[in-house]
Amino acid sequence: MDEQEIGEVYGGLVFMEMTVPGLEIPTVTRSMEGNKGEAVVKTIDLLIFDKSAPARLIQHIEVKNFSQNESGDDYKIEFKLDLLKDENAGSVVLVANAAREVKAALPDNPVDTEKQDFLEELVFKTSAGKDGSYKWNVSEPGYTPIPMYGETSVSGITPGMSITGVELIRMLARIDVENKVGSDVFNLQEIYLVNYHTAGFIAPAWNESDGALLKESDEKYPYSRNLDPRIPSAAGKPDATQDAAMKYTYMQEAGSAGPLLAGEIYAYEEPKAGSVAGVCLILKGIYQGTEYYYRVNFTSDKTDPGSGSGVKTGDDVPLYRNHKYIVTVTAAEGIGYTTFDQALRSASVLSNLKTSILIVDMTGIKNIVYDGQYFMGTEGKMVDIPWSVDKLLNHRVSSDYYGDWKAEVIDSMTTGWLKFANGYASEKGTDINSGFKLDLKVVDSPWDGNDYVSGKIVFTAGRLRDTMIVRRVAMADMFARSNIVLSSGKLTFAVTEEDNNTIPANSQGVFCKWGSLFMFAPAGIPYDPVKHIVYYPPETSVGNWGGGLAGWDQVPYAHDNFGFDTPPLAESEKDREKMDTFREYEDEAGFNASEGIGDICRYISSKEGWGEGKWRLPTSHELGLLYDETPTKPQLPAGGDFVNVTADYNLHADNHRDGKSLLNSGLQLGARASGSIVPDRDKKTPPSGTVYLPVSGHRYPNGDGDVVHIGAYGYYWSSAPYDDFTVSYPLLYRKGLEFYDADRSYAFPIRCIRDY
pLDDT under 70 in the chain at which residues? 1-12, 21-36, 70-74, 303-309, 364-366, 372
Please state the separation of Cα 137 from the chain's center in Å.
31
Q: Which pLDDT does position 316 carry in this prediction?
A: 93
- On whether the CB atoms of residues 207 and 55 are closer than 8 A, the answer is no
Q: How far apart are CA 479 and CA 485, in angstroms?
A: 15
Q: How far apart are CA 660 and CA 491, in angstroms?
A: 11
Statement: 366-473 belongs to CATH 2.60.40.10 = yes
- Backbone angles phi and psi of 713, in degrees to 5: -135, 150
Tell me if 1-170 shares its fold with 172-198+236-362.
yes
172-198+236-362 CATH pick, 3.10.450.50, 3.90.226.10, 2.60.40.3690, 3.30.470.20: 2.60.40.3690
Q: Which pLDDT does position 6 carry in this prediction?
A: 30
CA torsion angle for 584, 589, 592, 598 (degrees, to 10)?
60
**What pairing do the DSSP bridges indicate for beta strands 615-616 and 397-399?**
unpaired
Q: Which pLDDT does position 183 carry in this prediction?
A: 96
State pLDDT tens for residues 540-576. 988 889 999 999 999 999 999 999 999 999 989 999 9
- On whether the CB atoms of residues 512 and 525 are closer than 8 A, the answer is no
Please state the domain extents for the chain. Answer: 1-170, 172-198+236-362, 366-473, 477-754
CA angle (115, 225, 233) in 5-degree steps:
45
Distances (CA, A) of 145 to 19, 40, 71, 717: 16, 6, 17, 49
Q: How far apart are CA 204 and CA 21, in angstroms?
A: 16
- 1-170 in CATH: which number? 2.60.40
Name residues whose C-beta falls within 8 Å of residue 259's C-beta, 6 or more positions apart in sequence.
Answer: 28, 29, 178, 251, 252
State pLDDT tens for residues 626-646. 999 999 999 999 999 999 999
> Which segments within 198-352 are labelled E, that is strand?
199-201, 246-249, 260-267, 280-287, 290-297, 323-332
Q: Is 116 helix (H, G, I), strand (E, B) or coil?
A: helix
- Which of 545, 693, 547, 713 is closest to 623 using CA atoms? 693
Q: How far apart are CA 99 and CA 21, in angstroms?
A: 21
CA angle (341, 343, 349) in 5-degree steps:
135
- On whether the CB atoms of residues 620 and 739 are closer than 8 A, the answer is yes
Q: Which pLDDT does position 35 carry in this prediction?
A: 46
Type of residue at 257: A
Name residues whose C-beta falls within 8 Å of residue 277's C-beta, 6 or more positions apart in sequence.
Answer: 195, 240
**What pairing do the DSSP bridges indicate for beta strands 353-361 and 436-440?**
unpaired
Q: Which pLDDT does position 215 carry in this prediction?
A: 84
In eight-state DSSP terms, residue 35 is T
Q: How far apart are CA 8 and CA 64, in angstroms?
A: 22
Q: Which pLDDT does position 304 carry in this prediction?
A: 59
pTM of the model: 0.71
- On whether the CB atoms of residues 168 and 148 are closer than 8 A, the answer is yes
Q: How far apart are CA 17 and CA 495, in angstroms?
A: 20
Q: Is 37 helix (H, G, I), strand (E, B) or coil?
A: helix
CA angle (201, 206, 207) in 5-degree steps:
135
Distances (CA, A) of 204 to 34, 114, 207, 231, 268: 26, 17, 10, 11, 12
